Structure formats: structure tokens, C-alpha cells
Structure 1
């Protein structure tokens, strides 16, 4: 089975450094360490990278799962659902990019 990459880009309603850091910490608290995760990282947009191809977002989440069933199970675990419930009101836009890795 192919590994699956789950990339999520969050644009916040409040784009202040405090709000950005709060969401990044929530990602670390709730979304890391789940069964089947082989790599996890969360980052914030570098304001000095202003090329037109860069997306407009504040926080990026990158989770690599060992396979599709691991990804699917993650979608319904309590910690993931709690993360969404506690943070969704702060999101202006969310872009999810899932891909099978080669």
C-alpha cells in the first residue's frame, strides 16, 4: 500500500501572530502521534516568501500516513474531532490536499 500525504492549509480570520501560534500549538497537541503516522510537521507561512505561486495561508499541517486505512481512521479519532470543534470558528478558509506517495 502507498503512503498517503495529508496537507492542510489554514487561513485564519484573525491573522495575528498570537492567533497563528495558537493554531499551530493546537495542531501539535491534537494531531500528532496517531496510529499510522510516519511523519508529522506543522508550520507557519514565511512572510518574506512572496512569490505569486505561494498560497495565502497562515498555518500548514503535514501528516504522512503509512497507508490509506491509517488516514481514514485518523479522520474519526476523538482528538482530531476535538481539534476541529475547538478551532473551526477561527478558520476563514481551509484547503486540504491528500495524495498517494510514490
Structure 2
């Protein structure tokens, strides 16, 4: 049996959640966070407003979803210069960031 992959899900709450700033963050995810080796799945997008059940956590604006081939690829991603640049350029508008990592 092969080793499990690592799913890395990040949810960003923005200080300025105007449509332009939300799309700016989604675009930055696509530019900076989809280029590292070891990514087997990438997606970034906005909260689905139509899903508003009691169980839905809606305290965020942009979701980033990555699956890495293994934990080592994830760890390398964290130190990758494009990931660091993404953080440096975008963090000024973050009111909160929550990260959920799981083996899948």
C-alpha cells in the first residue's frame, strides 16, 4: 500500500472582503501556489454563498485546497520562495488564516 497523500486546506478571512480583493487573493493563489513540485491537486476559490446550513462554517472568504504526494513535498512547499512571496504580498489583508492538514 502506498503512503498517504497530504491534504492542505487553508481558509482566509479578509479585512477588505470586497469582490476585487477576494478575486485578487484567488488570483495570487493561482499565480504563486500552483507551481511547486509534488502537488497532485490544486484549487482556490470563494465561499459558496448558496450553502448556508447550520453546519456550514462561513467565517472565511477564500479557500485554498492542495493535495501533495507526501509530507515531504508539503514541507518543501512551505519554504518555497513563491510561497513565501505569496505570504509577503497578501498577508496585509488577512484578518485570519486557518489551516487544516490531513493524511488522505
In structure 2, the residue matched to 1:14 is 16
Structure 2 segments unaligned to the other structure (5+ residues): none
Whole-angstrom CA distance in 1 between matches of 2:16 and 2:102: 29
Structure 1 segments unaligned to the other structure (5+ residues): none
* Structure 1 residue ranges (4+ consecutive) displaced by more than 2 angstroms after TM superposition: none
TM-score, length-normalised on structure 1?
0.95
**Structural RMSD (CA):** 0.8
In structure 1, the residue matched to 2:75 is 72
In structure 1, the residue matched to 2:7 is 5
In structure 2, the residue matched to 1:60 is 63
1:16-66 CA-partner distances (Å, limit 9, x unpaired): 111100000000000002100001001100122211222211000000000
Pick from 76, 83, 87 the counterpart of residue 86 of structure 2: 83
Q: What is the DSSP-based 3-state SS (H/G/I as helix, E as strand, rest coil) of the residue aligned with 2:29?
A: helix
TM-score, length-normalised on structure 2?
0.94
Pick from 38, 41, 54 the counterpart of residue 39 of structure 1: 41
